[in-house]
Chains A and B, each alone.
Chain A
Amino acid sequence: MIPLLLRLLVFVAASLLVDAAAHGAAQPGPVPAGLILVKGAWSSAAGTSTSLPEDGTISNGRYDNAYFGLEYAVGSDWTQRYEGPPPSDSGYYVLAQIEPKDSALAATTGHILIAAQDLFFSLAPVHSAPELIGYFQQHLSAEYRVERAPTRVRIANRDFVRLDYVANVAGLHWHVLATEIRCHVVQFVFTGSSPKSMERLVASMNTMIQPGGSAPLCLKDFATPATVLERVDPVFSEPRFNPVPVRIVIDKEGRVKHIHFLSAFPEQAKSIEEALLQWRFKPHLLDGQPVEVETGLLFGRSARPSTAALH
């Protein structure tokens, strides 16, 4: 009898809590200024906790990104004044925006943008860093003059593609260095009016720590009828028509262990998570051994004619 009563009390208490949450429990105080509380399609993650591309940090002039395995020390007199936006629905990330602590120096010393383009979801029809830089150069308008055509360079034991260009009237220079990590093109963009200062920043990349080797194998378009053994389609509660790019990590047994929604409304993420956790893939073998695989899936409406959507 007592256990039954206890269970009843617990049930009632839990119901009240759920009810309070569902109806928005009173939160005292004014709306905080400068916070984005009502979000549209946004990034989130589910499954096994692991680092995300957008999770980099800047501290004491050093940018650390566990997902890409990057550690880039610009200098203690550099900082990030403003964080970037969330990932776009075409897989574009603003990873860091770094500028001199002394904003008066920014005009001459320049500023740094570290960005990444997910090669699974790119709007531009590109598959590699050289192709992305080439695509960019093709679309460079007449206001700019190329100072260094795309060139392969070796920095911190990694291959980069470098493109330099200058704006004819502004006199601002851009040095763009792009490399591929985990099926992303990671781009270091230096902007400033003094090529000499900017060259020093480029040189500082040599101290960058290169990516570690423990990341899953990334494979574009891995999910095919040949590899997907069991599949459950997500059921969306309402039509949204936005593309929902999703990165997943598949474990050695073929189960989805990690889901990264680059851009999804909460109800979309919930439906996709419920479905993906039921998917089974054929384990991927490398040298005869099963390995973890990271791949991309596009749900919702595709904005990219060149990319086949699942729905």
Chain B
Amino acid sequence: MNKLLASACALLFSAALAFPGTALSQTDPGVRGGPINGQPGATQSSPLPLASVNANAPTGILEFFDNGLGRFQEQEVVSGGTNNGLGPRFNLNSCSGCHAQPAVGGSGPANNPEFQVITQAIASGSTNTLPSFITAHGPTVEVRFPFFTNSNGSPNKNAPNGGVEDIFTVSGRADAGNCSLQQPNFQQAQQNNNLIFRTPTPTFGAGLIENIDESTLLANQQAQAANNFGIGGAFNRNGNDGTIARFGWKAQNKSLLLFAAEAYNVEMGITNEIFSQERPLPQEEQGAGLPASCLNLSGHGYPEDATNFTVASNSDQAAQNAQVPSDIVLFAEFMRLLAPPVPSTNAPGGAQSISNGFALFKEIGCSTCHTPAIRSTQPSNITASLGNVTVKAYSDFEIHHMGSGLADNVSQGGAGGDQFRTAPLWGLGQRIFFLHDGRTTNLLGAIADHRSNGSEATQVAENFASLSAGQQQEVLNFLRSL
């Protein structure tokens, strides 16, 4: 053996030691380039609506979509401006700041807007500090404390919490009067391993998800019942009417309207016609609530977002009509009417690789939960493109036990601390952060994290690990084509 060959062998051996169990070549291709959402004509600030909405059928619907898009991007202030009601606690001052990748309505962007909240004076730097886990290019997150704390600050494992701990307060802003609030003690929570993160879920195609009948989901569950991958699954049922809830990381929200209203209240502190009171932190709620000096900061009473009974007259009747609903109604309408992402047929890796990757995705069991196509939506009384269509969301909308490695110890509705909704994968190719807490930007890491003690996905992750490097690459190419 000559020296060159020996050196090459030694290098390969070293590489194998450095990456045991993995071949040398498979890599996540990263965020796919090309048209936003695979839709020519879409821009970051102007995602495309469904085809029938784009055709303005029924008449006036396009105006509602556009108005909703505008409101989704509005910057809220506390008082004295055009859009009031921010706070007293909040994570950001607009929907589109967090739901930004690859376009308005999407998931967290590359540049974390929370990192800029103080520098842009959305929160006062004299009364707010940036927690260490909010980084310039890290995931955009909301924070939850799984447990309430004892008087000495240690987590009380007998007292589950799980509510959102808003990062910022309006205290110190010129438009926030004398409201004085402290931020939650993130440092202490971090030291006690008592905080978890959630990233924004993308909303493209959300109207199709909302319009799937119960029977269709139940039939899909039954069809997957006899699998050889160790997968069970259950539905998170709405506590009021018993039907299947389907939005949010734990499928805890029943409808887009509820989802929008809750986010408006929780993430931005804006009361509305579904959540009519200012929201204290969970620990404040157990005490005296918010101080009077932090209530009605807008000066207009509650709810801060309400139906607009009087609107400016407009010769365009549709434009006038679209001004009437409250923000949450038009947020929901905007999300409902957003077109689903269009997968690429040839990028990355070429058509054959993507096709093989899709076959492998199904063969090794990913599709048992990440159902490629659910047929079909209910007839729609809103617009034609919502009705009788196949939903290629790559989700069964069930909740599954994902094991101790992913568990966040937060219970929502019927979902326990280790159960999560099968994350829809449409649009995955242009997402940056993966898993509920955005812990990774690498699909290989996301797949590996599917296996841990108590996970239903361990067998499938094992099957992925059993593939050759070339086959794994094809799966990754397929995923990034979505």
List A residues at the B interface (Cβ < 8 Å): 21, 24-42, 82-90, 92, 94, 97, 99, 103-104, 106-107, 110-111, 113, 115, 117, 122-124, 126, 132, 135-136, 139, 141, 143-144, 167-170, 172, 174, 176, 187, 189, 191-193, 238-242, 263, 301, 303
Question: Assuming the A-B contacts A167-B364, A170-B467, are A38 and B218 also in contact, with contact meaning beta carbons closer than 8 angstroms in the complex?
Answer: no
Question: Assuming the A-B contacts A85-B403, A103-B21, A104-B20, are A40 and B360 also in contact, with contact meaning beta carbons closer than 8 angstroms in the complex?
Answer: no
Question: Assuming the A-B contacts A123-B222, A191-B463, A240-B239, are A115 and B230 also in contact, with contact meaning beta carbons closer than 8 angstroms in the complex?
Answer: yes
A-B contact pairs, 7 of them (CB 8 A): A31-B192, A31-B409, A82-B453, A85-B456, A97-B230, A193-B466, A240-B239
Q: Which residues of A contact B405 (CB under 8 A)?
A: 34
Q: Min CB distance, A78 to chain B, in Å? A: 13
Q: Is the CB of B466 within 8 A of A172?
A: yes
The residue in chain A whose Cβ has the minimal distance to the Cβ of B239 is A239
Does B186 lie at the interface of the complex (its beta carbon under 8 Å from any beta carbon of A)?
Answer: no
The residue in chain B whose Cβ has the minimal distance to the Cβ of A92 is B232
Q: Is the CB of A31 within 8 A of B152?
A: no
Supplied contacts A21-B158, A38-B409, 6 more A-B pairs, CB within 8 Å: A37-B409, A82-B452, A170-B471, A239-B239, A242-B234, A303-B218
Q: Is the CB of A107 within 8 A of B226?
A: no
Q: Min CB distance, A130 to chain B, in Å? A: 13
A135→B225 CA distance, assembly (Å): 10
Q: Is the CB of B364 within 8 A of A242?
A: no
Does B57 lie at the interface of the complex (its beta carbon under 8 Å from any beta carbon of A)?
Answer: no
Q: Is the CB of A238 within 8 A of B239?
A: yes
Q: Which residues of B contact A33 (CB under 8 A)?
A: 193
Q: Min CB distance, A250 to chain B, in Å? A: 27
Q: Which residues of B contact A126 (CB under 8 A)?
A: 226
Give which listed residue, A28, A124, A167, A301, contacts B226 with CB less than 8 A. Answer: A124
Question: Assuming the A-B contacts A115-B230, A143-B362, are A41 and B416 also in contact, with contact meaning beta carbons closer than 8 angstroms in the complex?
Answer: yes
Does B455 lie at the interface of the complex (its beta carbon under 8 Å from any beta carbon of A)?
Answer: yes
Interface residues in B126-167 by Cβ distance below 8 A to A read: 146-148, 150-152, 154-160, 162
Does B418 lie at the interface of the complex (its beta carbon under 8 Å from any beta carbon of A)?
Answer: yes
Q: Which residues of B contact A239 (CB under 8 A)?
A: 239, 242
Q: Is the CB of B226 within 8 A of A85?
A: no
The residue in chain B whose Cβ has the minimal distance to the Cβ of A110 is B466
Give which listed residue, B228, B239, B364, B403, contacts A241 with CB less than 8 A. Answer: B239
Question: Assuming the A-B contacts A31-B147, A31-B193, A82-B451, are A36 and B228 also in contact, with contact meaning beta carbons closer than 8 angstroms in the complex?
Answer: no
Q: Is the CB of A192 within 8 A of B466?
A: yes
The residue in chain A whose Cβ has the minimal distance to the Cβ of B243 is A241
Size class of B's contact patch? Answer: 35 or more
Q: Is the CB of A39 within 8 A of B418?
A: yes
Give which listed residue, B156, B159, B360, B416, contacts A42 with CB less than 8 A. Answer: B416
Does B53 lie at the interface of the complex (its beta carbon under 8 Å from any beta carbon of A)?
Answer: no
Q: Which residues of A contact B356 (CB under 8 A)?
A: 169
A173→B53 CA distance, assembly (Å): 47
A301→B235 CA distance, assembly (Å): 12
Q: Is the CB of B193 within 8 A of A113?
A: no
A38→B363 CA distance, assembly (Å): 33
Please report the number of residue pairs spanning A and B whose Cβ atoms sit closer than 8 angstroms: 214
A191→B228 CA distance, assembly (Å): 9
Q: Which residues of A contact B364 (CB under 8 A)?
A: 167, 170, 172
Question: Assuming the A-B contacts A88-B232, A240-B239, are A82 and B455 also in contact, with contact meaning beta carbons closer than 8 angstroms in the complex?
Answer: yes
Q: Is the CB of A106 within 8 A of B455?
A: no
Q: Which residues of A contact B458 (CB under 8 A)?
A: 82, 84, 97
A170→B418 CA distance, assembly (Å): 30
Q: Is the CB of B362 within 8 A of A141?
A: yes
Q: Min CB distance, A301 to chain B, in Å? A: 6
Q: Is the CB of B462 within 8 A of A99?
A: yes
Q: Min CB distance, A29 to chain B, in Å? A: 7
> Which 6 residue pairs of A and B lie closest in terms of their CB atoms, listed nearest first?
A40-B416, A88-B232, A24-B158, A38-B417, A167-B363, A123-B225
Give which listed residue, A31, A89, A111, contacts B462 with CB less than 8 A. Answer: A111
Q: Min CB distance, B374 to chain A, in Å? A: 15
The residue in chain B whose Cβ has the minimal distance to the Cβ of A134 is B226
Q: Which residues of B contact A110 (CB under 8 A)?
A: 466
Q: Is the CB of A30 within 8 A of B155?
A: yes
Q: Which residues of B contact A40 (CB under 8 A)?
A: 411, 414-417, 419
Does B482 lie at the interface of the complex (its beta carbon under 8 Å from any beta carbon of A)?
Answer: no
Q: Min CB distance, A98 to chain B, in Å? A: 11
Does B246 lie at the interface of the complex (its beta carbon under 8 Å from any beta carbon of A)?
Answer: no
Q: Is the CB of A31 within 8 A of B225?
A: no
Q: Is the CB of B363 within 8 A of A169?
A: yes
Q: Min CB distance, A305 to chain B, in Å? A: 8
Q: Is the CB of A31 within 8 A of B237?
A: no
Q: Min CB distance, A164 to chain B, in Å? A: 12
The residue in chain B whose Cβ has the minimal distance to the Cβ of A263 is B234
Question: Assuming the A-B contacts A36-B409, A42-B416, A172-B364, are A86 and B454 also in contact, with contact meaning beta carbons closer than 8 angstroms in the complex?
Answer: yes
Give which listed residue, A115, A143, A301, contacts B359 with CB less than 8 A. Answer: A143
Does B221 lie at the interface of the complex (its beta carbon under 8 Å from any beta carbon of A)?
Answer: yes
The residue in chain A whose Cβ has the minimal distance to the Cβ of B219 is A305
Q: Is the CB of A82 within 8 A of B403?
A: yes
Does B5 lie at the interface of the complex (its beta carbon under 8 Å from any beta carbon of A)?
Answer: no
Q: Min CB distance, B307 to chain A, in Å? A: 31
Give which listed residue, B360, B417, B454, contacts A84 with CB less than 8 A. Answer: B454
Q: Is the CB of A123 within 8 A of B417?
A: no
The residue in chain A whose Cβ has the minimal distance to the Cβ of B407 is A36
The proximity string for B residues 359-371 relative to A, scoring 1 for CB distances below 8 Å and 0 otherwise, is 1101110000000
